[in-house]
Structure 1
Amino acid sequence: MARRKRFAIAWLALGLCALGGYLGSAQQTPSRFSVRAGGQEVHDRSTGLTWRRCAEGMAWTGVGCTGEPRAFTQIEAATHAAQQAGWRLPTVGELHTLVDEARRDPAIDSQAFPDTPPTWFWSASQANSRITHAWLVHFGEGRANMALRLNHLPARLVRR
């Protein structure tokens, strides 16, 4: 019995050492995101895209995003984006690049994009099979789907 206990403790210690080494190396890996414009924008080094840090309707406070995200129909979101000089509504592929598969609720890097509501966000991509539907990404679960373009949901803008 004592031998089994020592064996189990040795394996646990070995596992903790390995985990500590993994976590230590993960923390030293540079982030793919860099914060710009006084914290209001995030540049994605892997895609070359620059994102608004907060969902539309929310404001950057210096430590996080505050307020409530503005709810748009997909057409309103595209119109709103077109009125923001240099910004646009992302395609579903671009928006989905923000999903972090290792996270949930929200499924996004919460240091780069703090206070992101874990809900659906509009993309500019219209569904090929239905003119009445568009693609969106859920930042709680990290998946994409289609929805009726008349639903009222948040948006995050992008630029190249």
Structure 2
Amino acid sequence: MKTILLLILPLLGLMAPPARALDSQAPGDWAVSADGALVLDQRAGLAWSRCVEGMQWNGKTCTGEPRLLDRAEATALASERWKAEGVGWRLPRAAELQRLVDKSLQPPGLNPILFPRAPGQWHWSSTVNTTAPRINQYTYGNIVQGRSGDGAQQGAMLNGWAVNLTSGEARGDAARTSKLPVRLVRAAPVK
């Protein structure tokens, strides 16, 4: 009963959540920072912003509206936040975002205690397509035939990787001009 109260009381705004494990699927792996603004993945050594960009932590929940960005804007935002705060914020890799999806929930998605008001849709990742074949534009045969690249390489330049935070599906064919939410990550603070 005490555990249930500890999980419900912060949602009601009756007490600030202390840093503690919250996720029943991975006991001890997930905790909330003392100020409540970060979710700590203790196994991976990562600190996640509790709210997506555009939303703010008010001590009880995330408020505001998610900021939707294209891939270049998302990358620039992470860099700007790093410079402004002096902390290494970055876009997460696809596998890191997939780890956030709690498949034990019905329906699956982000744990609402850890990530309140989280949009359960596609989010940008920093993962790049490294399997696209390369065409050497300086090879005489490619110049004569008018080839500067093939479809896979050109697609890799136009598309980026995104992860659906409802299902955990990752895809490398998201148009870089798509406007998607961004959840930044950084190294967890050293105790």
TM-score by length of 2: 0.64
Structure 2 spans left out of the alignment, 5+ residues: 1-22, 83-87, 133-155
Deviations for 1:10-31, whole angstroms, at most 9, x for unmatched residues? Answer: xxxxxxxxxxxxxxxx96x845
The letter of the residue matching 1:150 is: T
Matching of residue 158 in structure 1 with residue 155 in structure 2: no
Shift of 1:68: 0.8
Q: Is the 8 A contact 2:55 2:62 kept in 1?
A: yes
Match for residue 116 of structure 2? Answer: 114
Task: Determine the structure 1 residue equivalent to 2:158.
Answer: 132
How far apart, in 1, do the equivalents of 2:28 and 2:43 lie? 10
CA deviations 1:67-102 (Å, max 9, x no partner) are 111000011101100111220111111111111122
Residue 39 of structure 1 is matched in structure 2 by: 36
Change in CA separation of 1:39 and 1:106 when aligned onto 2, cut-off 3 Å: farther
What's the CA shift for 1:66?
A: 1.2
Q: CA RMSD in A?
A: 1.9
SS of equivalent to 1:83? helix
Gaps of 5+ in 1: 1-25
The residue aligned with 2:46 is 49
Alignment CA distance shift 1:30-1:135 (3 Å) = same
Instruction: Work out the percentage of aligned pairs sharing the same amino acid.
Output: 40
Count of residues in Structure 1 that have an aligned counterpart in Structure 2: 134
Q: 1:104 to 1:90 in 2, by over 3 A?
A: farther
| 1:103 Cα deviation after fit | 2.6
Q: What is the aligned partner in structure 2 of residue 61 from structure 1?
A: 58
Does the C-alpha gap of structure 1 residues 126 and 138 become closer, same or farther in structure 2, counting only changes over 3 Å? Answer: same
Q: CA deviation at 1:58?
A: 0.5
> Which stretch of structure 1 is more off in the superposition, 137-146 or 115-124?
137-146
Q: Structure 2 vs 1, CA of residues 80 and 104 (structure 1 numbering), >3 Å: closer, same or farther?
A: farther
Q: Aligned-pair distance for 1:118?
A: 1.2
Cα contact 2:101–2:166 (8 A) shared by 1: no
Distance in 2 between the 1:60 and 1:94 partners? 22
Distance 1:143 1:64 in 2: 26
